[in-house]
Amino acid sequence: MQLTNRQTQADRALLHLGRRLQADGYSFTCVTPATHQRNLDRPLTDPARSLRDIFGWNRRFAPERISPDELEQMHLADIVEPQGSELRSTVRFSTLGEWLFLHSGYPTESTDAVFFGPDSYRFAQVIQAHLQHSINPVNHAIEIGAGTGIGAIVIAAARRHAQVTAVDINDLALRYTAINVALAELANVSVAHSDVLQGVTGTFDLIVANPPYMLDASERTYRHGGGTLGEGLSLRIVKESLPRLAPGGTLLLYTGVAIVEGQDRFLDALNDILEPTRWVWRYQELDPDVFGEQLLQPGYQDVERIAAVTLTVTCRE
């Protein structure tokens, strides 16, 4: 996928910068915000020593630490933030296998931030495992709440004949997804604005989603899941996706759930929605304890832990 003439100069500069990083062999594994901050808190005599420091850890850097071409592309992309006599990138680049992903800089405080982190890696692994073991064909697929487009990219790379759509309500996420798809050199992904599935038509052989699942006081799009304890959007995706599955089609949802007194209320709600005569479904807890720092936030006083889970629902033919 190539960016079209309709894309802005900034988007083309970001794509050029990403390709330069790929050519340089750039690699960076994105960590949780808490781990990221602990790394930044360590004293360094030199703020940024490498491209990983500049575009991974988001450290301040002296202009001479980066090549003139890369610095020019940063200015064209408008991602340079002055820090006294030094500079700082307002975006990050992280890698997963052969792919490079553009996403928001640290910390992700803005309402339209595009997040990438450990959940992204787990989400990709869940999709890859499903595609390796599923015998059902995938001709039309969609990722809801694409963010960086990681789900769409994983599917499109594994099923080159499939038509894959990445949708989001966040315009910045759609921009970054388009750039990431271009960096992955995939021609079978389209990008569209949609609130869940309201902006697209048709049925799908595979629907994937990794929605936000926290209660966020600022209600940032990438983080706030709504509902009682962050489960609102996940439940909405399930309800709105089921009628859009083709016969034999699958919904693959990766999300997080708040556990209160040993009870998974999201699972309780699913038992009321998913009739066994119509749906074949499996629910699995992948990690029993993620984002433990969230328990200190308002609304979580009764929550024991937050678990990462996957839901796989297949429409009976």
Question: If we measure between CA atoms, which residue out of 296, 285, 197, 295 comes closest to residue 239?
Answer: 197
pLDDT tens readout for residues 5-28: 546 899 999 999 999 999 999 999
Task: Give the residue-averaged pLDDT of 293-306.
Answer: 95
pLDDT of 309 reads 98
**CB atoms closer than 10 angstroms to residue 3:** 17
pLDDT of 51 reads 95
CATH architecture assignment, domain 118-315: 3-Layer(aba) Sandwich (3.40)
100 phi and psi, to 5 degrees?
-115, 135
pLDDT of 219 reads 84
pLDDT of 4 reads 56
Residue 207 has pLDDT above 60, yes or no: yes
Residue 277 has pLDDT above 60, yes or no: yes
Confidence of residue 104 (pLDDT cuts 50, 70, 90): very high
Looking at the chain, the whole-number percentage of residues with pLDDT higher than 70 is: 97
Confidence of residue 45 (pLDDT cuts 50, 70, 90): low
pLDDT tens readout for residues 212-237: 999 988 888 888 899 999 999 999 99
Sequence-ordered list of residues with C-beta below 8 angstroms from that of 106, at least 6 positions apart, any chain: 33, 36, 40, 57, 58, 92
Rg (CA), the chain: 20
Q: For the whole model, what pTM was predicted?
A: 0.95
Per domain, the residue ranges of the chain are 9-104, 118-315
- Helix, strand or coil, per DSSP, at residue 250: strand
Least confident of 81-85, 86-90, 222-226, 306-310: 222-226
Give me 193's structure tokens. 């604005």
CA distances 65 to 23, 29, 86, 104, 205, Å, are: 17, 21, 10, 21, 47
Cis peptide before 288 (omega within 30 of 0): no
**CB atoms closer than 10 angstroms to residue 30:** 23
**Mean of all residue pLDDT scores within the chain:** 94
Task: Give the residue-averaged pLDDT of 279-303.
Answer: 95
